[in-house]
Structure 1
């Protein structure tokens, strides 16, 4: 099968393209948001092929995976026809959540796929056929050493996104443990939040360096209030890291008892951070449970099998 999709979410796409198909990604001269082409910081197989947008009409495409509302117009303009369509929704809804209508709800012939059951519950999908394919992660291996008594946090653009990603909570957590914040546009975060420089450091690393750096930290902290389900949380669990997370969105499903501490009480979370920092053997044991849980629920084989069943059904 030849599947057209846009390079939107690098981590998710890295798992998806491990399947048995040919994956066509549009490329534009400026490699802008609608034409990034192949990833440069993720390892993708040769089955992912870049096709200039002006040549898409020449391609045999069996199915399209949409991920943003405007991509349907790009399909009409660049492809000139509508093969079977899947709309993959990565995000939880914003705004008036109980009444948030999904952009694909009223598009004929689209199958809507959510990455978490929480998202499916919160979006109004109208009459659209809807299902869930939970995340899968390419296993980076058990890399955790925990040698650095610091907490790893992964979040992009924390200054701009603020309370949504829990940036306002970082000063509280920084008093419990020094933080290493990884992600795009994290520079100047400590100054912005008034955290002493030695208690909050910013890092921008490519994906292949990120996992090793995370795994040297004693624990993973997930302060995000409102998100679908941060793949960095699942990656940290795969690495064998103990995790501390807010009990929001899908986190309570992703982190079972014994695999970390999940709560909406900041005092409980900060104490958990202190406990992991002070007791490396405890951190190791919880991290091992986190890895086992992540492999069982978010392993790549299950993910690809679920997608294969869905793609065959939609393409019929």
Structure 2
């Protein structure tokens, strides 16, 4: 199969393109959001090929994976074929709904020409997709290996654009947690975060690192802190578990399914989470033991083999 998809979500796409198909990604001059092409900071196989809009016009495409509402129009214009009508299509929804939750209508609601794929059961429950066919294909993660050492008595946080996204990502909670543990916040748009929060640099350091180095640095921290209030299911959380890190996380959206008992502490009470942070900082052995259980849970539920098999079944269904 030759599958057309846009490079939108680097971590998710890295898992998806490990399959047995050819993956075509649009590329534009300047490599803007609609034409990023191949990843630079992620390791993608040679089966991922770049095509310009002009090249797509004559390309043999068997399936279009849409991820943003405007991509249907782009595909129609660039391919000369309508996704769902002239070429099989699925719409992959990465996110939980915003706005009038739980009454938010999905952009693909009441369509009979495609399948909407959700990455969590929570998302399918909360999006109103009308009579559009839906599936849940949970995340898969390329296993980075059990790298955890926990030698640094600090908490790792991974979030993109924490200042702009504010309460959504729990940025307002970081000063509270910084009183329990020094924080290392990794991600895009984290520069100046400590000053924004009024924290000294030694209590809140920030860095934007390539994926391979990010995993190494995360694994040196004693625990992974996930203060996010509202998101689908952060792949960084699953990657931390794969690394063998114990997890301290807000019990929101899909987190309670992703982090089982013994793999960390999940709660809607920040004070309870603060106690867990303190526990891991003072008991390295307990942190390592819970991290080992977190890794096994992540491998069992979010392994790459299951993820790719789920997608192959859906691809066969919609293209036959």
> How high is the TM-score relative to the length of structure 1?
0.99
Aligned counterparts, 1:35-46, within 5 A: 35-46=35-46
* Alpha-carbon distance between aligned partners in 2 of 1:55 and 1:102, rounded to the nearest angstrom: 31
Gaps (5+ residues) in structure 2? none
Aligned with 2:264 (options 252, 260, 264): 260
* Alpha-carbon distance between aligned partners in 1 of 2:101 and 2:75, rounded to the nearest angstrom: 28
* Alpha-carbon distance between aligned partners in 1 of 2:317 and 2:95, rounded to the nearest angstrom: 24
Instruction: Tell me the secondary structure at the aligned position of residue 95 of structure 2.
Output: coil
Corresponding residue for residue 28 of structure 1: 28
Aligned counterparts, 1:194-209, within 5 A: 194-209=198-213
Aligned pair count reads 316
* Alpha-carbon distance between aligned partners in 1 of 2:145 and 2:157, rounded to the nearest angstrom: 19
1:107, distance to aligned residue in structure 2 (A): 3.5
Q: Deviations over 1:188-240 (max 9, x none)?
A: 11111111211000011011110000000000000000000000000000000
* Alpha-carbon distance between aligned partners in 2 of 1:47 and 1:55, rounded to the nearest angstrom: 17
Checking the alignment, whether the CA contact within 8 Å between 2:139 and 2:307 is kept in structure 1 is yes
* Alpha-carbon distance between aligned partners in 2 of 1:54 and 1:175, rounded to the nearest angstrom: 55
Checking the alignment, whether the CA contact within 8 Å between 2:111 and 2:131 is kept in structure 1 is no
* Alpha-carbon distance between aligned partners in 2 of 1:42 and 1:225, rounded to the nearest angstrom: 27
Aligned counterparts, 1:1-316, within 5 A: 1-82=1-82, 83-316=87-320
Q: Deviations over 1:264-313 (max 9, x none)?
A: 01110000000000000000000000000000000000000000001000
* Alpha-carbon distance between aligned partners in 2 of 1:28 and 1:140, rounded to the nearest angstrom: 31
Instruction: Tell me the secondary structure at the aligned position of residue 102 of structure 2.
Output: helix
Checking the alignment, whether the CA contact within 8 Å between 1:255 and 1:293 is kept in structure 2 is yes
Checking the alignment, whether the CA contact within 8 Å between 2:112 and 2:133 is kept in structure 1 is no
Instruction: Tell me the secondary structure at the aligned position of residue 197 of structure 1.
Output: coil
Instruction: Tell me the secondary structure at the aligned position of residue 174 of structure 2.
Output: helix
Instruction: Tell me the secondary structure at the aligned position of residue 24 of structure 2.
Output: strand
CA RMSD across the alignment: 0.6
Checking the alignment, whether the CA contact within 8 Å between 2:27 and 2:50 is kept in structure 1 is yes
Q: Which structure 1 residue ranges, 4+ long, deviate > 3 Å from structure 2?
A: none
Instruction: Tell me the secondary structure at the aligned position of residue 97 of structure 1.
Output: coil
Checking the alignment, whether the CA contact within 8 Å between 2:3 and 2:65 is kept in structure 1 is yes
Q: Deviations over 1:30-56 (max 9, x none)?
A: 111000000000000000000011210
* Alpha-carbon distance between aligned partners in 1 of 2:177 and 2:97, rounded to the nearest angstrom: 27
* Alpha-carbon distance between aligned partners in 2 of 1:175 and 1:196, rounded to the nearest angstrom: 11
Farther off after superposition, 96-105 or 147-156: 96-105
* Alpha-carbon distance between aligned partners in 2 of 1:59 and 1:105, rounded to the nearest angstrom: 29
Instruction: Tell me the secondary structure at the aligned position of residue 179 of structure 2.
Output: helix
Checking the alignment, whether the CA contact within 8 Å between 1:35 and 1:53 is kept in structure 2 is no
* Alpha-carbon distance between aligned partners in 1 of 2:28 and 2:317, rounded to the nearest angstrom: 31
Q: Deviations over 1:64-83 (max 9, x none)?
A: 00000000000110001131
